Amino acid sequence: MDKLFGTDGVRGTANTHPMTAEMALRIGAAVGQYFSRDGSSVHRVVIGKDTRLSGYMFENALTAGLTSTGMNVLLLGPVPTPAVGLLTRSMRADLGVMISASHNPAADNGIKFFGPDGFKLSDQMEADIEALMAQGVPLAASNRIGRAKRIDDGRFRYIERVKSSFPRQQALDGLKVVIDCANGAAHRVAPEALWELGATVIPVGVSPNGHNINDNCGSTHPEQAAEVVRREGADVGICLDGDADRLILLDETGKVGDGDQFMALMAHRWAQEGRLAQKALVATVMSNLGLEQFLQGKGLRLERTAVGDRYVVERMRAGGFNLGGEQSGHIVMSDHATTGDGLMAGLQFLAEMIRSGKPASALLNSFDPVPQLLKNVRFATGQAPLEAAEVKSAIAQAEADLAGKGRLLIRKSGTEPLVRVMAEHEDASLMTRAVDSVVEAVADAVSTG
């Protein structure tokens, strides 16, 4: 059997391998068997989803697989990914499942898993589950089949948890906030939480129809929200992705502030307050060199990991760090949550606006980024363009050209059939030539492969 799990669970186009109802049923059965191996009679799993049409299909298939192995299933309906991590732990469940393809288009879907501690499963646990699928899963006796039950107040529990991370002595009175929910999982919880804290809320992307999640809205397409910020004279914009585990911020002019700028702000602030564990921030290899240089200037460290918020979390747990994230907007604050939480991060930014009295534009400009360029090349299943001799030669030459004042990063996406080519250098023209040379070599290898 082909490897199913990528950097963030199982993901693909709905009704195409591996994202079929049959595969979801098999995954559910294998996961149910894995987490009920102790033989006790009480095992439960919580399942959340975003607003994709295919979510109903996968919810039913996973429920069938899980209950067939004796697991009791608690169905949360549409909730953000971090809500699943939270409720898995608070409801004493053995397992949490989120049905979502995050920022991907509506045609895609995915399945993410959380252990009983609320953290995403390790690579080894995923490998063990795949091994169970390959060898076959024994089903529960007919009198041990699990039950399924709808949980109606999951989103309200999550709202209260998110609000508890906001300073009790503060309120959002007087702040006008544009919140873009990407027609996704946070389309109800995010505006409600902001309103309950006192903000004047201007919602965008809160009319999901099963097909419009992430469609020209949300963290990957903030242009619409930026226009609303300018038109309404808002103080700030918060753009979430489809499952609300990440955010992109907009200042009062509509200018984008990415995860690197947010992490720079919070790391410096927490360090001043003595709250930044180990005097370090955890981020991935994609974070800008400017962030690293900013932290060094403040006497702080940047710990880099592979791309993927789960790797950030693993490093944070192993090293005792409490702040980490990705340039793309996954922000992990382990004092409050077990995974990236876009709404919670947005509230922390709003709290800093109130505390400092500064506009969003000032807070999202901690450092000047080193010029960075990222280009993607799509390839077909079965192709291995990075193994081509011409590609290896182009990469070696680009690395030599950028040596000293920049860097080159080449990697395969863990969620899509893409080769990502990223470079940073103080000389933007040199950087562009280096990226284009590698992209051209990869494209040639793909076309002839």
CA of residue 273 relative to chain centroid, distance: 27
**Cβ(60)–Cβ(150) under 8 Å?**
no
**Cβ(356)–Cβ(410) under 8 Å?**
no
Helical residues (DSSP H) of 165-244, grouped into ranges = 189-196, 223-232
Catalytic residue among 102, 219, 287, 334: 102
Please, what's the largest Cα pairwise distance for the chain?
Answer: 69
- Please indicate whether residue 142 is annotated as part of the active site: no
Among 186, 328, 180, 194, which Cα is nearest to 262's?
328
Residue 289: both structure tokens together: 């060199």
Distances 350 to 106, 125, 346, 355, 359 between C-alpha atoms, Å: 30, 37, 6, 9, 10
The per-residue DSSP string of 293-321 comes to HHHHHTT-EEEEE-SSHHHHHHHHHHHT-
Whose tokens are 């290899």? That residue is 285
Angle at 322 between CA 246 and CA 295, to 5 degrees: 85
Q: Name the CA dihedral angle for 15, 18, 24, 25, rounded to a multiple of 10 degrees.
A: 100
Pair type for strands 406-412 and 331-333? unpaired
**Cβ(444)–Cβ(436) under 8 Å?**
no
Give the count of alpha carbons within 13 A of 206, CB side only. Answer: 16
Distances 342 to 159, 206, 244, 329, 419 between C-alpha atoms, Å: 13, 16, 5, 7, 26
Residue 117: both structure tokens together: 């501690």
**Cβ(25)–Cβ(58) under 8 Å?**
no
Residue 95 has φ and ψ, to the nearest 5°, of: -160, 145
Give the count of alpha carbons within 13 A of 310, CB side only. Answer: 19
Alpha-carbon span 403 to 408, nearest angstrom: 9
Whose tokens are 């209260």? That residue is 160
Among 88, 95, 75, which Cα is nearest to 28's?
95
The catalytic site residues sit at 102
